């Protein structure tokens, strides 16, 4: 219901693309809580979106290109759908698929996101030649055959119309648009043909790069332009030239990787930026004016001896002169040792860089801000405060393809928010698995997983009891009820979310609040629609399961049971553990037990690291993701916000670390580096956070001998002759020694040997407790829900997690052979 309205005239900036209509009228309504009910057509008749007027102001890119319907760009992500990696090809071949190289899955993936209303999308990085491959047989576009494969993608995207707010027309729309990203990896190539500005080896690839000769450089420029022409012929609306994140173009830009003495190198920056400019000029000449050229410019290298701010500005201006349409922001080389996209990076933390370029009126083409922008409120404030003209979001489109549409409709509470965990996207990309998303297992598997509301035929709908509302239970209940089953969700706790309720308390994991918010809202809607019962504060017993399994529908019959009861902490066998100073991670994280200044943490898996971070930086506030302070983060990691230093790094002595609250000794039984099993792209951040605090001692190869009567821990380090013993005089000992599955309900049902045993399915941590794995839990819950009615789905014979094992094994074998 609209309660009142106020019309605000926004006088505009002089640049036509900043305001297509010179003056736009924004109707800013004060909306009541059910703003979602605002009629879509009515929105169009007004000239601006009532919820996020800046986000939905169209962006005019001039007469040759036209207008983008809104200010959101879907950022580039190589997901594995665009490439023809050997593992994928082999798997397709083994499955006897007719066309091993078609891009139908990629078309479906982008089609869904275009339907979700994003103004412009960029594909994952595609190489212009073989040397530029990300990995062997990764996506490349240099031939007509490769070109033709892409038409299915561009046709799909162009078939979709996106609503926009036009000052001159009601119900105005713009076509879906997509650019192809041209990415040459240079010395980041994960294959033996790597090349670069000079013969160097990057710290993140085992393959040394060969120096390109001057004629090789000119051939590479032609390859970029050829790739762009082929992209245009394939129907792409433009290209994004990848000039950041430490890839080839970036490698030419800085002295650290460019030791050349020809016209593409040397002390003079105009030589070092020549490669970028020549690529843009040739591309513009070859593709004409009606073609978008985005340049991803590294505005903050975050590596020693990176670009200076003056160089960045000079490059931006030269790029505009060379014919670039939009400048996108790149943050941090891949080898940088500062988190740039992890969940501990506060929302919008790096938009200050784009703002600086914009404030200094460096260029007059649109500037796009990027990294860790995952909510419409963040987008709106970045645009409204003049930090950027356009916002790039990449992973948020994996988490929710409809993020733009839901924002437009004022349904922010329905957005499945990207929690920036990297677990199913970047971590997959690094090991050659098709990317997906922890909170949305359908991402990049659109042709395989379909969740159609009420799609189960009426006579096949089941009454399903789900015991446990952690990630696995929530995901199962949500999918099963959505497709038409009737679900009753039981939890002995009064809140849903299971272990996510602890994760959200860890500093840097505040985004987990959002997943709980999302599922709570969606389950509530299903409940209101009569598709789901929620019985919180209810513990289910075996006898209750038996009763309901044999009851009539009116008495609450349950046809199938899903056991998603999660895990219990494993209690190691150490004498004296009953001392009151000994706590479990649940005492600390859930029950907020009082913890002293000096703490021993037993177990250095994911939970041990989380608990250590929590204890170091604990504060009572229980912050939400949008309350995390950006400046604290930048200061702690030594980012030079003034950009007065090359690469944007503060000198070591100027870094101000937040003073930790405690002293911690983190231990593991295993030999070797602590945290080796943490996420591939994020583990180093957790290790680094603890090491940099200077308050965490890490010990491996530890045997725990006893806890004495004072609550002190006696340990032995090492074995045999070299072993040493120590007594840790700590205030508390926190146990993070792994978990055991809670599957008593299944076990009793199986032992009783009755009919119930055939109806009980165990998922999530209750099925497999080796590490708490929300990715596997949500994937498993979702996939089982889709098949639960099928006759061949029987208890004990269902793994139901993404079928990517073979792909991963093949990839790893291939990498071993190549090294």
Ligand X SMILES: Cc1cc2nc3c(=O)[nH]c(=O)nc-3n(C[C@H](O)[C@H](O)[C@H](O)COP(=O)(O)O)c2cc1C
> Could you give the string, one character per residue 354-373, with x where binding to ligand X holds by CB under 6 A and - elsewhere?
----------------xxxx
Piece in contact with ligand X (CB under 6 A), picked from 1-9, 36-44, 69-77, 735-743: 69-77
Residue nearest to ligand X (CB): 125
Tokens of 86: 């050997």
CB 375 to ligand SF4: min, Å? 12
CB 410 to ligand SF4: min, Å? 23
CB 421 to ligand SF4: min, Å? 4
Does the active-site annotation cover 165?
no
> Could you give the string, one character per residue 418-437, with x where binding to ligand X holds by CB under 6 A and - elsewhere?
-------xx--x-----x--
CB 399 to ligand SF4: min, Å? 5
CB 770 to ligand X: min, Å? 24
Collapse the DSSP code of 59 into the 3-class scheme (helix H, G, I; strand E, B; otherwise coil) and give the result.
strand
Tokens of 221: 């420029």
* Tokens 């099963």 found at: 480
Q: Which of 759, 737, 757 is nearest to 747 (CA)?
A: 757
Work out which of 81, 382, 388, 439 binds ligand SF4, going by CB under 6 A.
Answer: 439
Piece in contact with ligand X (CB under 6 A), picked from 387-395, 539-547, 602-610, 612-620: 387-395
Alpha carbon separation from 748 to 336, 542, 640, 760 (Å, rounded):
52, 7, 60, 10
| 127: DSSP letter | B
CB 418 to ligand SF4: min, Å? 3
Q: Does 394 bind ligand X (CB under 6 A)?
A: yes
**Calpha distance 459→472 (Å, rounded):** 26
**Calpha distance 138→189 (Å, rounded):** 10
Of the pair 315, 345, the CB lying nearest ligand SF4 is at 345
Work out which of 157, 393, 438, 678 binds ligand X, going by CB under 6 A.
Answer: 393
**Calpha distance 436→447 (Å, rounded):** 13
Q: Does 438 bind ligand SF4 (CB under 6 A)?
A: yes
Work out which of 395, 646, 712, 783 binds ligand X, going by CB under 6 A.
Answer: 395
- One DSSP character per residue, 433-467 reads PPP--SS-TTTT-TTT----TT-S-GGG--EEEEE
Restricting to residues 378-437, name those near ligand SF4 by CB under 6 A: 395, 398-399, 418-425, 437
Task: Residue 38: name its binding partner from ligand X, ligand SF4, none (Cβ under 5 to 8 Å by kind).
Answer: none
Collapse the DSSP code of 763 into the 3-class scheme (helix H, G, I; strand E, B; otherwise coil) and give the result.
coil
Which of the following is catalytic: 247, 585, 767, 811?
Answer: 247
End-to-end CA distance of the chain: 63
* E strand or H helix at 241: strand 238-243
**Calpha distance 473→780 (Å, rounded):** 10
Of the pair 75, 795, the CB lying nearest ligand X is at 75
Listed in order, strand segments (DSSP E) in 492-645 are 532-536, 560-563, 567-569, 582-584, 598-602
CB 251 to ligand X: min, Å? 15
Q: Does 411 bind ligand X (CB under 6 A)?
A: no
Restricting to residues 238-257, name those near ligand X by CB under 6 A: 242
Of the pair 142, 501, the CB lying nearest ligand X is at 142
Q: Alpha-carbon torsion 366, 370, 376, 377, what sign? A: negative
CB 427 to ligand SF4: min, Å? 8
Q: Does 125 bind ligand X (CB under 6 A)?
A: yes
Task: Residue 795: name its binding partner from ligand X, ligand SF4, none (Cβ under 5 to 8 Å by kind).
Answer: none
Q: Three-state secondary structure along 345-407?
A: CCCCCCHHHHHHHHHCCCCCCCEEECCCCCCHHHHHHHHHCCCCCEEEECCHHHHCCCHHHHH
> Are 126 and 227 in contact, with CB atoms under 8 Å apart?
yes
Q: Site size for ligand X, by CB under 6 A?
A: 23
Bridging pattern class, strands 582-584 and 567-569: unpaired
Q: Which of 464, 486, 460, 480 is nearest to 548 (CA)?
A: 464
Report the DSSP beta bridge partners of residue 741. 567
Of the pair 465, 764, the CB lying nearest ligand SF4 is at 764
Of the pair 239, 715, the CB lying nearest ligand X is at 239
Task: Residue 76: name its binding partner from ligand X, ligand SF4, none (Cβ under 5 to 8 Å by kind).
Answer: ligand X
CB 685 to ligand SF4: min, Å? 13
**Calpha distance 742→755 (Å, rounded):** 21
Tally DSSP H helices, then E strands, for the chain: 26, 31
Q: Which runs of consecutive H residues, i.e. helices, occur in 621-714? A: 630-636, 683-692
Task: Residue 125: name its binding partner from ligand X, ligand SF4, none (Cβ under 5 to 8 Å by kind).
Answer: ligand X
Task: Residue 424: name its binding partner from ligand SF4, ligand X, none (Cβ under 5 to 8 Å by kind).
Answer: ligand SF4
Report the DSSP beta bridge partners of residue 463. 486
Restricting to residues 158-187, name those near ligand X by CB under 6 A: 181, 183
Of the pair 70, 682, the CB lying nearest ligand SF4 is at 682
Restricting to residues 434-473, name those near ligand X by CB under 6 A: 435
What is the binding site for ligand X (CB under 6 A)?
75-78, 124-125, 181, 183, 242, 296, 341, 370-373, 393-396, 425-426, 429, 435
Q: Which residues are marked as active site?
A: 247
What is the binding site for ligand SF4 (CB under 6 A)?
395, 398-399, 418-425, 437-439
């Amino acid at each position: 219901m609209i309660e009142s309205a106020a019309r605000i005239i926004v006088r505009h900036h002089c640049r036509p693309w900043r305001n297509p209509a010179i003056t736009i009228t924004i109707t800013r309504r004060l909306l009541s809580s059910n703003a979602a009910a605002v009629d879509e057509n009515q929105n169009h008749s007004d000239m601006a979106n009532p919820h996020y007027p800046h986000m939905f102001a169209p962006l005019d890119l001039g007469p040759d290109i036209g207008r983008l319907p809104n200010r959101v760009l879907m950022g580039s992500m190589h997901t594995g759908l665009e490439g023809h990696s050997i593992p994928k090809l082999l798997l397709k071949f083994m499955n006897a698929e007719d066309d091993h190289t078609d891009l139908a899955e990629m078309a479906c993936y982008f089609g869904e996101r275009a339907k979700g209303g994003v103004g412009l999308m960029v594909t994952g990085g595609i190489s212009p030649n073989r040397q530029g491959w990300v990995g062997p047989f990764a996506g490349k576009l240099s031939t007509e055959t490769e070109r033709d494969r892409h038409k299915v993608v561009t046709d799909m995207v162009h078939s979709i119309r996106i609503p926009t707010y036009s000052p001159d027309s009601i119900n105005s729309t713009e076509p879906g648009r997509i650019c192809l990203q041209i990415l040459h990896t240079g010395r980041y190539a994960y294959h033996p043909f790597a090349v670069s500005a000079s013969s160097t080896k990057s710290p993140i690839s085992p393959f040394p790069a060969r120096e390109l000769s001057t004629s090789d450089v000119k051939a590479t420029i032609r390859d970029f332009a050829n790739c762009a022409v082929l992209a245009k012929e394939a129907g792409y609306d433009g290209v994004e030239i990848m000039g950041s994140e430490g890839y080839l173009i970036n490698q030419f830009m800085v002295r650290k990787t460019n030791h050349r003495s020809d016209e593409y190198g040397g002390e003079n920056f105009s030589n070092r930026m020549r490669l970028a400019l020549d690529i843009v000029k040739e591309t513009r000449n070859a593709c004409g004016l009606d073609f978008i050229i985005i340049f991803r410019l590294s505005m903050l290298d975050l590596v020693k001896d990176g670009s200076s701010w003056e160089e960045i500005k000079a490059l931006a201006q030269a790029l505009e002169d060379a014919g670039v349409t939009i400048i996108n922001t790149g943050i941090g080389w891949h080898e940088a040792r500062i988190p740039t996209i992890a969940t501990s990076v506060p929302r919008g933390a790096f938009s200050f860089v784009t703002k600086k370029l914009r404030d200094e009126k460096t260029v007059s083409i649109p500037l796009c801000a990027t990294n860790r922008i995952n909510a419409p409120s963040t987008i709106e404030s970045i645009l409204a405060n003049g930090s950027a003209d356009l916002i790039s979001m990449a992973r948020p489109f994996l988490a929710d393809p409809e993020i733009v549409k839901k924002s437009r409709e004022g349904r922010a509470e329905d957005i499945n928010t990207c929690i920036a965990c990297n677990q199913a996207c970047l971590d997959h990309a690094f090991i050659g698995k098709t990317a997906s998303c922890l909170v949305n297992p359908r991402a990049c598997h659109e042709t395989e997983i379909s969740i159609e509301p009420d799609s189960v035929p009426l006579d096949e709908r089941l009454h399903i009891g789900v015991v446990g509302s952690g990630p696995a239970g929530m995901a199962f209940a949500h999918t099963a009820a959505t497709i038409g089953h009737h679900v009753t969700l039981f939890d002995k706790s009064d809140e849903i979310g299971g272990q996510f309720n602890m994760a959200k308390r860890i500093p840097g994991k505040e985004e987990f609040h959002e997943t709980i918010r999302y599922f709570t809202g969606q389950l509530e809607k299903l409940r209101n629609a009569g598709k789901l019962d929620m019985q919180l504060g209810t513990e289910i017993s075996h006898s209750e399961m038996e009763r309901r399994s044999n009851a009539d529908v009116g008495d609450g019959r349950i046809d199938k049971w899903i056991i998603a009861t999660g895990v219990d902490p494993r209690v190691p066998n150490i004498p004296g553990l009953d001392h009151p100073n000994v706590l479990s991670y649940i005492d600390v994280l859930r029950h907020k037990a009082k913890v002293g200044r000096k703490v021993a943490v037993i177990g250095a898996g994911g939970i041990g690291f989380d608990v250590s971070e929590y204890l170091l930086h604990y504060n009572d506030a229980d912050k939400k993701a949008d309350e995390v302070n950006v400046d604290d983060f930048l200061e702690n990691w030594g980012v030079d916000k003034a950009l007065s230093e090359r690469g944007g790094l503060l000198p070591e002595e100027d870094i101000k670390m937040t003073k930790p609250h405690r002293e911690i000794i983190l231990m593991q039984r295993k030999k070797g580096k602590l945290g080796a099993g943490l996420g591939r792209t994020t583990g180093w951040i957790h290790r680094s956070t603890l090491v940099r605090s200077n308050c965490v001692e890490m010990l491996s190869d530890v045997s725990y001998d006893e806890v004495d009567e004072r609550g002190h821990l006696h340990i032995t380090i090492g074995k045999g002759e070299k072993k040493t013993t120590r007594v840790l005089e700590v205030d508390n000992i926190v146990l993070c020694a792994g978990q055991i599955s809670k599957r008593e309900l299944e076990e009793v049902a199986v032992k009783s040997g009755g009919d119930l045993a055939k109806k009980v399915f165990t998922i999530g941590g209750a099925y497999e407790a080796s590490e708490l794995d929300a990715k596997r839990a949500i994937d498993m819950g979702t996939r089982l829900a889709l098949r639960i009615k099928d006759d061949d789905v029987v208890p004990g014979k269902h793994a139901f997690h993404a079928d990517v094992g073979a792909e991963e094994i093949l990839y790893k074998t291939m990498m071993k052979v190549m090294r």
